[in-house]
Amino acid sequence: MYEREAKEAIKKVSNSFKVLLVTGPRQVGKTTLLLSMKPDNMEYVTLDDEVLRNQAINDPKMFLEEHPAPLFIDEVQYAPNLFSYIKMNVDKENNYGMYWLTGSQQFHLMKNASDSLAGRVGIVSLNSFTYSEIMKSAKKKLFKPDNFKNSDYIDINELFKIIYKGGMPELYKNKKLDMKLYFQAYIDTYISRDVRELTKVGDTEAFKKFIISVASRTGEQLNYTALSLDAGISVPTAKAWLSILTTLGIVYLLEPFMNTKLKRLTHMPKIIFMDTGLAAFLAGWESARDLQLSSYAGHYFETYVISEIVKSYNAQGIRPNISYYRDKEQNEIDLVFYKNDTLHPFEIKKTSSPNKGMIKSFNLLEKTGKKIGKGGLICNYDKLMHLDSNNYIIPISSVINISK
């Protein structure tokens, strides 16, 4: 059994709100986790069942009367009109955890739930396995930008095997499952179906070219023109299709750092594929070793670090306040945490030989007028130590596997 980091957050939300909503991409374990946690007296229904779905859509009041709380509704995105009736039901009671909901379309679900169930719903985002979940590390601690912890060294060769495989739960539960067959089926079955439901994508081949182009650019600045040219579509279509991938939780857009005192900053986010295994498959990498030794290895290392941070914060019901810095002169800081009115800069490098020159852009943040706190270089070094008076050499293990 793989323990999920989100378990405690789900318990807290269910004990604090009348409605729990767990969102995230398909196949990341939302249903499995909640079924393992649900009270014995809670009924489970899934709107993947066409009969139940039609009733929930066409007669939501009757649906909820026939399936009274406590109730677990899986794939609730199929019947968003349920939210207003759930609101009426929970307002009649003073019980917590009356409804547990899951859905795979994050933005639309969150918006609908927030609009209809304001003050009544707590939301937890679930992603594919984190490194510590795969390794079954006990009592993992959240990476905090102002309080670094030492952890066991992670061999770079073993790390890239994980980066290449990704974190989809089925790949770890079923040891005989062929990874490439799984990802191909995932794209054909789940992503394609969700895409059809969210928008009228007539050219599925163009969409596949598009998602391959996006995956090939993970860790890079978003360029709609390049994406549109690769897929043979218009820029507005590329924008609409990328919105779908973010809605489904497949892609995370790391927003650019903005400051009124700095005029020459980029305004484009950076593409972060939330599962590096899916990205590597789409981009056509044949093995972990090929990826590790390629010129793209740094992009995947950076993507992995950022996605792991986002996953772990999501699992605790927190949205990390992070961005990246890039100006018109191409100066860049890979990751900037904003916490307690303080900026914490981080560079992310696939290197075992860190040096101070790798953080030379940090001083650009002094012009912001904000306090500059602890920061450092996240890399493949084997121990946590000072790089200078305010910055550290931070092993990747101190970010993704903090258990000491």
Listing DSSP states for 210-254 in one string gives HHHHHHHTTTSB--HHHHHHHHT--HHHHHHHHHHHHHTTSEEEE
12-16, 299-303, 328-332: segment of lowest average pLDDT: 328-332
For residue 58, is it left (φ>0), alpha (ψ between -120 and 50) or beta?
alpha
Burial of 295 (0-12, 13-18, 19+ CB in 10 A): exposed
Q: What is the DSSP letter of 150?
A: -
Angle formed by the axes of helices 82-91 and 106-116, to 10°?
40
pLDDT band at 320 (very low <50, low <70, confident <90, very high): very high
DSSP 3-state of 324: strand
Q: How far is it, in rounded angstroms, from Cα 148 to Cα 143?
A: 7
- Other Cβ atoms within 10 Å of 203 Cβ, number: 13
Higher pLDDT, 258 or 195: 258
Question: What pLDDT does 195 receive?
Answer: 73
Taking residues 110-138, what's their average pLDDT? 84
- Which string of DSSP letters, residue by residue, matches 359-380? GGGGGGGGGGSSEE--EEEEES
pLDDT band at 199 (very low <50, low <70, confident <90, very high): low
pLDDT band at 138 (very low <50, low <70, confident <90, very high): low
Question: What pLDDT does 265 receive?
Answer: 83
Structure tokens of 350?
Answer: 């696939």
pLDDT at 244 over 70: yes
Structure tokens of 357?
Answer: 């020159």
Higher pLDDT, 112 or 386: 386
pLDDT at 166 over 70: yes
Chain position carrying tokens 């450092």: 376
CB 75 within 8 A of CB 104: yes
Q: How far is it, in rounded angstroms, from Cα 352 to Cα 397?
A: 13
Round the average pLDDT of the chain to a whole number and report it: 92
pLDDT at 134 over 60: yes
Taking residues 390-395, what's their average pLDDT? 96
Question: What pLDDT does 109 receive?
Answer: 65
CB 85 within 8 A of CB 19: no
Taking residues 74-84, what's their average pLDDT? 91
Domains identified in the chain and CATH numbers: 7-125 (3.40.50.300), 131-400 (no CATH)
pTM of the model: 0.94
Question: What pLDDT does 189 receive?
Answer: 82
Q: How far is it, in rounded angstroms, from Cα 380 to Cα 262?
A: 32
Question: What pLDDT does 322 receive?
Answer: 97
**If you compute the radius of gyration of the chain from its CA atoms, what whole number of angstroms results?**
22
pLDDT band at 139 (very low <50, low <70, confident <90, very high): low
CA–centroid distance for 78 within its chain: 22
CB 102 within 8 A of CB 47: no
Question: What pLDDT does 208 receive?
Answer: 87
> pLDDT (tens digit, 9 = 90+) per residue, 369-382?
899 999 999 999 99
pLDDT at 403 over 80: no
Question: What pLDDT does 114 receive?
Answer: 67
Q: How far is it, in rounded angstroms, from Cα 387 to Cα 211?
A: 39
Taking residues 11-24, what's their average pLDDT? 95
pLDDT at 201 over 70: no
pLDDT band at 137 (very low <50, low <70, confident <90, very high): confident
Burial of 181 (0-12, 13-18, 19+ CB in 10 A): exposed
Higher pLDDT, 223 or 264: 223
pLDDT band at 141 (very low <50, low <70, confident <90, very high): confident
pLDDT at 404 over 50: no
